[in-house]
DNA sequence: CTGAAAGCGCTTACAG
DNA sequence: CTGAAAGCGCTTACAG
C-alpha cells in the first residue's frame, strides 16, 4: 500500500505553496476562487486527506470530537449519533466514540495521556456527572456539552421527560379500561444512573391523578429494558384486569414486547390492549405503535452546534436547551380513524 | 489550566538533551541507568506525559490501538477489554474503542481520515468479516488481530464454542428429568452476525444424541439475550414437563432470568430446576450458578500479545489460538456435595 | 491573495 | 552513552 499523499504533493500538483493548500483546508477567506478550485482538484485527484495528528500538533486542533456515551446498545444512541454526526461531519469534524464501561475508564478518558482528551471537544451523553466529580465539573479544559442530561455548569440539551410522561398519562386516561404502566429499571451496576425513566413515570402518575384515574401500585410493573420485559408485563397485567386495558410501556423496546405477547395471546392492539411506547424510534412506524416521540436526532444536532460554537471560542454562560416530545397516535391505541386524538 | 509540559522542559530539568529524554521514553537500551533515573525523575516531577499526536507524526507510531467491537453492552466485552488493557497498558499502549453501530460506521473507521485508522493496530472483536469485505481482508495496512472470531487471513483468538456446548450436553445428560435448552437469537439487524450461539447449541445437541437422550424440537426456546428471556423460557418449559428439569441456558445473562423465575415459582435450583449457564461471568459465583466458563480475560490478553508482536514487525503467517472452556459446577446444578462431577 | 519560514512535540540517524 | 540537527505533516504570522 502506498503512502498517503501529503500537503506538499498537493501543493506541487496545484502549482502553489503549501501555505495556500493549508488555507483552503481551513476555509481561509483570503484565497482566490480559481486557486481554491485548483487546489481542491489536486486534492481530489490525489485522494488527499489531511493528517489529524499533524493538524493537532501544528494548529492545536485535531478536528475530532469525543463522544462519551453509556455502553448500552440502543436505538436511542444510534439516533443521537446520527444527529451529532450530521452537523459535525459537515464542518469536517470527526467523531471518536468512548463507550463508558466503567468509572475507571471514564477517568482514564479524561487523563491527559489518552487520545480522547486530546480531541477538541467533548459530548457527554445521558450522564448526570454532578455527583461523580468534584464541583460537578469534568477534569478537562476542553469545551463540554451534555446531551440527554442537564447540568448547570455546562451547555445542556435535554428532553422534558416529565412532560412526556404527562402526555402519556393524559392520553391514556381518555380510554375505558384499566391503566397500567411499565417502568424500566435502572441497572444497579451502571456507572452513572440516569433518571429519564423515573421522570417519565412521575409525569405519568401526575396526569392520571389530575384526570381522576386510579393507578394502584400493582398496576406498575418494573423490568429491565428488553422486549421480553414487556411480554412478562402484559401477562402480569392480564392477571389484574380483563381487556380492554391500557398500557404505557415507558420505552419502545418494551412496548415491542407487549405487542408481541398480545399477538401471541390473540389480543388486538388498539382494541383489547392499547399500547403506548416512548421514544419514537423508526421501527414504531411499521409496527403501528403509538409512541411519545423524542426528536433524538434534532437533540444531537443541537448539541453538536453548541459544541461547535464553544470550540470556536464562544465563552458565554452555560446554555440549557429544552426539547419537547410529541405524541404520535397509531393503530396500537386507535385502530380506527374515528376518534383522532386532540389534546 | 496551564499547558502540558513538553519534552524540552523535561530535558532542561534533567540537564540532558531532548534526544535522551526521547530515548528513555522509548526504552532505548543505550542510556546510562543514572541518566535514565534522572530523566524519569524529571518527568515525574513535571507530570510529563508524551503527546501521542507528536509521536505519531515523528515516529510513525501513536502508541494507541483501536478496538472495534459490537455495540452490545455485555459483561463479555467488559472482560475482554480488561484482558486487552492489561497487557497493552503495561507496554504503554493506549486503547481507543470503536463500537460498531452500523456498517457505514465501520467503513468510516477504516477510512484514512479517521483517528481509528491512524492508530498502530486493530483488534476486531466477534465479527466474521469474510463476507463483508473483498477477499475477506480489511482495507487497512495496519496489523489486525481477531478475537472471539476466526479468519484464516488474520491472527485469531477464539473459544471452541462447540466443545463448550458438548460439555454442557454431556453434563446435563447425566441427570434425571427432561432436558431443555435456550438458544439466544442473533439480532437480525446486527451489522455482522456472529455464530457463537449456534455453535454452542450444535455441540449441545451432539452430546445429547451421543448420550442417547431425547431432545424434541419443542424443548428448545429461542429468545433475545436478556434475563427476561430466561424467565419466559422457564415458564414455557414447565408447561412441557414437570420438575425435575434440566436447562442449558446458553448464556449466563439468560440463566440469571431462569434462576429469578425459579425463585418466584418456589422451585429449588439444583433440585427441581437444574440450570447451567455459559460464559463464566463473575456474577455467577455469588449466584451459585453452574456455568461453562470462557477464559475471556485470557483471550483478550493473548490477542493483545499477538498484536504487539505484529506491531513490532513480526510477519509470519496468521496464527490461530484456540481456547477451551471449563465447566464449573455450583449449586444451581448440584445442591449437595454428594456427587461431584467427573467427566 | 500568496509564498517562504518558523514552529508544534516528538523520533531518529549521525556524529562524537 | 549522548547532543545537535533534520524531519514528520501540518498551521500561522510575516512579508510582499
User: What are A83-140's pLDDT values in tens digits?
Assistant: 999 999 888 888 888 887 777 777 777 765 666 557 889 999 988 766 677 777 877 7
Interchain CB distance below 8 Å, A232 and B231: yes
Most confident of A3-12, B7-16, B144-153, B295-304: B295-304
Q: Residues B265-288: what's their mean pLDDT?
A: 95
Residue bearing cell 483488534: B123
How far apart CA A164 and CA A183 sit, in angstroms, is 14
**DSSP secondary structure, B121-165, as one string:** EEEEES--GGGTSGGG--S-SS-EEEESS--TTSEEEEE-HHHHH
If one compares B186 and A222, the residue with the highest pLDDT of the two is A222
The pLDDT confidence band at residue B47, using thresholds 50, 70 and 90, is confident
User: By three-state DSSP, how is residue A69 classified?
Assistant: strand
Q: Using the CB atom, is residue A181 less than 7 Å from strand D? A: no
The dihedral over CA atoms of A67, A68, A74, A77, expressed in degrees to the nearest 10, equals: -30
Q: Residues B32-38: what's their mean pLDDT?
A: 90
Per-domain residue ranges of chain B: 7-59, 64-159+296-324, 161-294
Nucleotide C16 C1' to residue B55 CA (A): 26
> What value does the mean pLDDT of chain B take?
88
> What value does the mean pLDDT of chain A take?
88
pLDDT higher than threshold 90 for residue A340:
no
pLDDT higher than threshold 80 for residue A1:
no
The pLDDT confidence band at residue B288, using thresholds 50, 70 and 90, is very high
User: What pLDDT shows up at residue B156?
Assistant: 96
The pLDDT confidence band at residue A193, using thresholds 50, 70 and 90, is low
How far apart CA B290 and CA B277 sit, in angstroms, is 6
Measured in whole angstroms, the distance separating CA A4 from the mean position of its chain's CA atoms is 35
Nucleotide D13 C1' to residue A24 CA (A): 17
H-helix segments, chain B: 7-14, 18-25, 33-46, 52-59, 75-90, 103-110, 161-172, 196-210, 227-240, 252-265, 283-287, 296-311
Which neighbouring-strand residues pair with B100? B70
Evaluated on CA atoms B269, B272, B273, B274, the torsion sign reads positive
The pLDDT confidence band at residue B60, using thresholds 50, 70 and 90, is confident
User: What pLDDT shows up at residue B209?
Assistant: 95
Interchain CB distance below 8 Å, B115 and A94: yes
Nucleotide C4 C1' to residue B48 CA (A): 34
Interchain CB distance below 8 Å, B49 and A112: yes
Whether A61 contacts A99, CB under 8 Å: no
Q: Residues B221-229: what's their mean pLDDT?
A: 94
Query: Which CATH number applies to A64-159+296-324?
Result: 3.40.50.2300
Nucleotide D16 C1' to residue A317 CA (A): 42
Shortest Cα distance, chain A CAs vs residue B240, angstroms: 18
User: What pLDDT shows up at residue B293?
Assistant: 97
pLDDT in tens, A91-104: 888 888 888 777 77
Cell numbers standing for residue B328: 464449573
Name the residue among A78, A141, A227 with its Cβ closest to that of B101: A78
State whether CATH 2.40.160.20 applies to domain B7-59.
Answer: no
Name the residue among B51, B52, B97 with its Cβ closest to that of A97: B97
A120-129, A217-226, A290-299, B93-102: the lowest-pLDDT one: B93-102
Cell numbers standing for residue A118: 486530546
Q: Do domains B64-159+296-324 and B161-294 have the same CATH topology?
A: yes
Closest residue in A to B142 (Cα–Cα):
A1
Whether B253 contacts B225, CB under 8 Å: yes
User: What pLDDT shows up at residue B120?
Assistant: 87
Closest nucleotide to the alpha carbon of B10, via C1'? C9
Shortest Cα distance, chain A CAs vs residue B112, angstroms: 7
Residue bearing cell 401526575: A206
H-helix segments, B47-123: 52-59, 75-90, 103-110
pLDDT higher than threshold 60 for residue A192:
no
Whether A318 contacts A143, CB under 8 Å: no
Closest nucleotide to the alpha carbon of B59, via C1'? C11
Shortest Cα distance, chain A CAs vs residue B83, angstroms: 14
Q: What is the fold of B161-294?
A: Rossmann fold (3.40.50)
Residue bearing cell 495496512: B141
Cell numbers standing for residue A260: 408481541
pLDDT higher than threshold 90 for residue B340:
no
Q: Residues B58-78: what's their mean pLDDT?
A: 83
Helices (H) and strands (E) in chain A, counts: 12, 12
Q: Using the CB atom, is residue A31 less than 7 Å from strand C? A: yes
A240-249, B134-143, B153-162: the lowest-pLDDT one: B134-143
A110-114, A143-147, B66-70, B90-94: the lowest-pLDDT one: A110-114
pTM flag (> 0.75): yes
How far apart CA B161 and CA A24 sit, in angstroms, is 54
Q: Using the CB atom, is residue B135 less than 7 Å from strand D? A: no
Q: Residues A17-31: what's their mean pLDDT?
A: 89
Cell numbers standing for residue A114: 489518552
Amino acid at each position: 500500500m502506498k503512502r498517503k499523499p501529503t500537503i506538499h504533493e498537493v501543493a506541487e500538483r496545484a502549482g502553489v505553496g503549501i501555505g495556500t493548500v493549508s488555507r483552503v483546508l481551513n476555509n481561509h477567506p483570503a484565497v482566490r476562487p480559481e486557486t481554491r478550485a485548483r487546489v481542491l482538484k489536486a486534492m481530489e485527484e490525489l485522494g488527499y486527506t489531511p493528517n489529524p495528528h499533524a493538524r493537532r500538533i501544528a494548529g492545536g486542533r485535531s478536528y475530532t470530537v469525543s463522544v462519551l456515551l453509556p455502553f448500552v446498545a440502543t436505538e436511542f444512541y444510534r439516533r443521537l449519533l446520527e444527529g451529532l454526526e450530521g452537523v459535525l461531519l459537515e464542518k469536517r469534524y470527526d467523531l471518536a466514540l468512548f463507550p463508558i464501561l466503567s468509572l475507571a475508564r471514564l477517568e482514564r478518558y479524561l487523563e491527559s495521556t489518552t487520545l480522547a482528551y486530546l480531541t477538541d471537544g467533548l459530548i457527554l451523553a445521558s450522564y448526570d456527572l454532578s455527583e461523580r466529580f468534584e464541583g460537578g465539573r469534568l477534569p478537562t479544559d476542553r469545551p463540554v456539552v451534555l446531551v440527554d442530561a442537564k447540568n448547570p455548569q455546562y451547555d445542556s440539551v435535554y428532553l422534558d421527560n416529565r412532560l412526556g410522561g404527562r402526555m402519556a398519562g393524559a392520553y391514556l386516561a381518555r380510554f375505558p379500561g384499566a391503566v397500567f404502566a411499565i417502568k424500566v429499571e435502572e441497572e444497579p451496576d451502571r456507572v452513572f444512573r440516569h433518571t429519564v425513566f423515573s421522570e417519565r413515570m412521575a409525569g405519568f402518575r401526575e396526569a392520571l391523578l389530575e384526570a381522576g384515574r386510579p393507578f394502584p401500585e400493582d398496576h406498575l410493573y418494573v423490568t429491565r429494558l428488553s422486549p421480553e420485559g414487556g411480554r412478562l408485563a402484559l401477562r402480569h397485567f392480564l392477571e389484574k384486569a380483563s381487556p380492554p386495558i391500557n398500557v404505557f410501556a415507558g420505552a419502545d423496546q418494551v412496548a415491542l414486547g407487549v405487542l408481541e405477547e398480545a399477538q401471541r395471546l390473540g389480543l388486538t392492539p388498539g382494541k383489547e390492549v392499547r399500547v403506548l411506547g416512548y421514544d419514537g424510534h423508526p421501527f414504531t412506524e411499521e409496527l403501528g405503535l403509538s409512541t411519545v416521540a423524542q426528536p433524538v436526532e434534532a437533540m444531537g444536532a443541537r448539541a453538536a452546534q453548541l459544541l461547535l460554537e464553544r470550540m470556536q471560542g464562544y465563552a458565554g454562560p452555560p446554555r440549557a436547551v429544552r426539547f419537547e416530545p410529541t405524541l404520535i397516535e397509531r393503530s396500537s391505541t386507535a385502530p380506527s380513524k374515528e376518534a383522532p386524538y386532540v389534546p
